[in-house]
Amino acid sequence: MTRILDFNGRDADRTVTVASISALKGTGRQYVQVTAGAEEEAAAAEAAGIDMVVCLAASVPEVRRGSSRLFVTAAIDFGGEVTLDDLLATAFRSLSAGADAVITARRLDAVRLLAAEGVPVMGHLGFVPKRSNQLGGVRTVGRTSAEASALWRQFQELEDAGAFAVECELIPAAVLAQITPRTGMATISLGSGRDADVMFLFQNDIVGESPRVPRHARAYGDVASLQQRIRDERVRALQAFKADVLGGGFPAEGEVGRIEAAELAAFVETFADTEPTAAD
């Protein structure tokens, strides 16, 4: 655990830092990153000893409520930002809310702007979901020599723009194995093999919450079945409650308040001249 001052100048402890992520190069050590979009997911990640989480920029406050110690990266491309000023504003809001870094798949000018403002910024190369239409679908990127060479140029340009790390999604493992020792950026592998500085999977895939686990992921739990059991149990309980109400079984005598007979009789006397408005 490392003591830092966060973006707002407050004392904080962090599992890892930008400096320690960058220092992974050539050490043979790796960090582990997962997604976290809710307080309980962040808390679970911290309890499990995960090093880093990534979340949407809007989710940073909730994620920080779940963990004050994890290294949090805010994805800043998903809030409707259009201009570079919009992107910069979202980045600063994310840092103010407790993020340690931001990630963007926007053009190099965006990375340069963020880096120039002192924002720790990660890039995103390989398969970028928002560009799947241009890529011809969900596929591995870098399967030919020409495509791998173009990808390597993108790594160089991204590093020159000021990114300290890069998410590498669906890149051939052998290609990333060649790139990782040749770039100064920390490489974060999502479906791109083991030869990276940080290994990354989506939490909902890991815990078995996804309806379909991608080829590059692995389910280590079965949260989906537990959630279905909770849904089924909720419906069963509600149905039982309704049946008890209609059948006269709820409430029982022990589930209502009491009044002494004499007190009740005195109360009823106050209705002596008042007729009920409805049939008993």
Each residue of 184-215: pLDDT tens digit?
Answer: 999 999 999 999 999 999 999 999 998 888 88
- For residue 94, the model assigns a pLDDT of 97
**Helix, strand or coil, per DSSP, at residue 238:** helix
Answer yes or no: do 233 and 163 share one domain.
Answer: no
Q: Are residues 116 and 158 in the same domain?
A: yes
By the 8 A CB rule, do 238 and 230 touch?
no
Would you say residue 197 lies in a domain? Answer: yes
Q: How far apart are CA 56 and CA 73, in angstroms?
A: 8
What CATH number is attached to the domain comprising 145? 3.20.20.60
Q: Which of these three, 205, 221, 237, is where a domain ends?
A: 221
Alpha-carbon gap, residue 25 to 14, rounded angstroms: 20
Q: How many helices (H) and strands (E) does the chain have?
A: 11, 10
Contact in structure between 41 and 16 (CB atoms under 8 Å): no
Do you find a cis peptide bond into 251, omega within 30 degrees of 0? yes
Query: Do residue 184 and residue 164 come from a single domain?
Result: yes
Could you report the per-residue pLDDT of 224-244, keeping only the tens digit for each? 999 999 999 999 999 999 999
- DSSP letter string, 112-143: HHHHHTT--EEEEEE--GGGHHHHTSS--S--
| Same-domain pairing of 177 and 255 | no
157 and 117 within one domain: yes
User: Of 182, 205, 221, which residue sits at a domain end?
Assistant: 221
State how many domains the chain has: 2
Residue 277: inside a domain: no
Q: Are residues 198 and 231 in the same domain?
A: no
Whether the predicted model's global pTM rises above the 0.85 cut: yes
Q: What is the mean pLDDT of residues 62-75?
A: 98
Domain shared by 38 and 89, yes or no: yes
Scanning 119-222, the segments in alpha helix (DSSP H) are 132-135, 145-161, 173-179, 203-206
Domain housing 146: 2-221
> How far is residue 132 from each of residues 6, 150, 229, 271, measured CA to CA in Å?
36, 17, 35, 76
Write down the pLDDT at residue 280: 52
Q: Assess if residue 200 is contained within a domain.
A: yes
Catalytic positions, written as ranges: 169
Tell me, yes or no, whether 238 and 131 share the same domain. Answer: no
Residues 134 and 244 occupy one common structural domain:
no
d(CA 173, CA 194): 7
- 185 and 148 in a single domain? The answer is yes
55 belongs to a structural domain = yes
Residue 127 in domain: yes
The verdict on residue 60 lying in a domain is yes
pLDDT digits (tens, 9 = 90+) for 93-138: 999 999 999 999 999 999 999 999 999 999 999 988 888 888 888 8
Tell me: do 214 and 247 sit in the same domain.
Answer: no
- Do the bridges between strand 186-190 and strand 52-56 make them parallel or antiparallel, or are there none, so unpaired? unpaired
In this structure, is residue 256 part of a structural domain? Answer: yes
The residue out of 221, 245, 261 marking a domain boundary is 221
pLDDT given for residue 42 in this prediction: 98
Q: What is the pLDDT of residues 135-187, one digit of tens each?
A: 888 888 899 999 999 999 999 999 999 999 999 999 999 999 999 999 999 99
157 part of a folded domain: yes
CB 159 within 8 A of CB 183: yes
Given a cut of 70, is residue 278 above it in pLDDT?
Answer: no
Mark whether 195 and 236 lie in a shared domain.
Answer: no
- Decide which of 278 and 33 is more confident: 33
Q: What is the pLDDT of residue 279?
A: 57
